[in-house]
Structure 1
Amino acid sequence: MAGHSKFKNIMHRKGAQDKKRSAMFSKLSREITVAAKMGLPDPDMNPRLRAAINAAKAQSMPKDNIQRAIDKASKGEGENYEEVRYEGFGPGGVALIVEALTDNRNRTATNVRTAITKNGGNMGASGSVSHGFERLGLIEYPGHVGDEDKVLEAAIEAGADDVESDGDSHAVWTSVDSLHEVARALEQTLGAADGVKLAWRPNMRAEVGEDDARLLLKLIDALDDDDDVQTVWGNYDIPDAVMERLG
């Protein structure tokens, strides 16, 4: 297990935490409702719902908001969302996978394509970049739960496959099938995770220079601002020094 490699956040820059809370809560609510509709509305019996609720709690989403999203699913209310995935390339040839929950495929496809093409990238066909990623389970913890050795030991005991840590966070990687089993085991030793989800992990990462990084971050922000887009994955590696200069 390669437990001492430095974790690079491949979803979005840390500054994305500053997005409007209402938009973030809307996305979290959508995932909770979809998860509850796809399975039982009981998080103890529905691993995806449990993960969605944990993610909402990690972002300090009010309990009332969480319950309303579950109730909406239980009553069969609200839109029927479907999961869609888009693949493409960002500045510098960076590979991107965009996951969305939508009630209108045409709208979402148009918005995603526009965001990518306006910011130095281009859309690709299905499978054009996903072959360069692994589909895995990802469990995320903040850095304050413990040092690398503590998290690594807990992950090994829980049956995880890999851990990547830096000073701010820990990423525990598992197979898709063992994600929720490992998450439950880690919860006993480290507490509730910030996130439990299926993820796309790149087989190789591409270092991005400052000019491309500036445009890439603008592109990711544009995608994040779309209500339908849930997650953006990429194979980019922006050096710390570049991130500091870009703010």
Structure 2
Amino acid sequence: MKNDAEKNKLTNKFIQQIALAVKLRDSKLPTILESANKNNIPKKAIENAIKKGQGLLNSGGAGNINIYEGMGPGGVAMIIETQTNNKNRTVALVRSQFNKANLSLLSMGSSMHYFDKVGEVTFCVSKEDGESDLEQPPAPEILDEDAVFERILDIDGITDLQRQPPGEEGDDDELAVYSALTEPSLTNKIALEIRDRGFELHSTSIEYKPKRDTRVPLSDPETQQAFSKFVQGLEDIEDVTKVYTNELIAQPSSQDQG
């Protein structure tokens, strides 16, 4: 069982690396593929990783990315990102979800000004030095958060750098995961520079981050429940790839904790 778990972990690691290399048009792709073959990564897994990097595994085809905007329960601004080859079907499903909650889709730009469109690169610092089977630059022998920041923040174009809270995607007992923000057009360039400094890339994406001064708190439990149900309904739509909101999650008071 342990060997199976280790094999799955290694396979997933190669899938991630191959997909990113394809997406970034990284010149190191042939080296990564050669290393994957040497490590007996299944051919089907490699083929799917390449398709993933090309954007060909979503809803059976590449499709087009479409953005919809609206206001959810409690006046929370929302951006719904979809990828589909049938725009009419997708917008009908999204609109139906709003109609069920007695809400309406809004025109383009109605919610967008509550968000900043940014490029995001997440990367890891392995705590297991020397155990990576991928042929990449050696990981810097630093685990201290301040040292990571010092190594990365001088890269021209990075506007913000944070360590992701434990428990978020990619953050576990073995990896410290960081998020670097930049202009969308610089995302791939920043990712390659981070990689060239010895860090292991985790993902690259274009995100909509809510502006701090526009976040909406939902302190009423009934509204919170309605909002969570509404977002879940949107996320259950097959063509919806991500739902962005400017919800500010209320922290429990000391009286609630007591």
TM (normalized to structure 2)? 0.61
Question: Which residue does 2:25 correspond to in 1?
Answer: 45
Question: After the TM superposition, which residues 121-132 of structure 1 pair with which residues of structure 2 at under 5 Å, given as runs?
Answer: 121-132=103-114
Rg larger for: 2
Quick one: structure 1 residues 220 and 144, their matched pair in 2 at CA, closer, same or farther if it must change by over 3 Å?
Answer: farther
Question: After the TM superposition, which residues 65-214 of structure 1 pair with which residues of structure 2 at under 5 Å, given as runs?
Answer: 65-67=48-50, 79=61, 81-119=63-101, 121-141=103-123, 146=143, 148-159=145-156, 160-168=158-166, 170-189=178-197, 191-203=199-211, 204-209=214-219, 210-214=221-225
Alpha-carbon offset, residue 134 of structure 1:
1.7
Quick one: structure 1 residues 66 and 42, their matched pair in 2 at CA, closer, same or farther if it must change by over 3 Å?
Answer: closer
Q: For 2:243, give the aligned amino acid.
A: V
Q: For 2:240, give the aligned amino acid.
A: V
Q: How many residues align?
A: 190
8 Å CA contact 2:123–2:203 kept in 1: the answer is: yes
**Which string of whole-angstrom CA distances, capped at 9 and with x for unpartnered residues, describes residues 9-53 of structure 1?**
xxxxxxxxxxxxxxxxxxxxxxx7xx9xxxxx9545379xxxxxx
1:228 matched to 2:236: no
SS at 1:161's partner residue? strand
CA distance in 2: counterparts of 1:71 and 1:233, whole angstroms: 23
> Over aligned residues, Cα RMSD in angstroms?
3.6
Q: Larger RCO: Structure 1 or Structure 2 (Cα < 8 Å, ≥ 6 residues apart)?
A: 1
TM (normalized to structure 1)? 0.63
CA distance in 2: counterparts of 1:215 and 1:72, whole angstroms: 33
Q: For 1:139, give the aligned amino acid.
A: V
Q: Which moved more, 1:231-240 or 1:183-192?
A: 183-192
CA distance in 2: counterparts of 1:223 and 1:190, whole angstroms: 38
8 Å CA contact 1:90–1:120 kept in 2: the answer is: no
Q: For 1:199, give the aligned amino acid.
A: E
Quick one: structure 1 residues 164 and 118, their matched pair in 2 at CA, closer, same or farther if it must change by over 3 Å?
Answer: farther
Unaligned runs of 5+ in 2: 1-18, 28-43, 128-142, 167-176
Quick one: structure 1 residues 125 and 71, their matched pair in 2 at CA, closer, same or farther if it must change by over 3 Å?
Answer: closer
User: Identity percentage over the alignment?
Assistant: 23
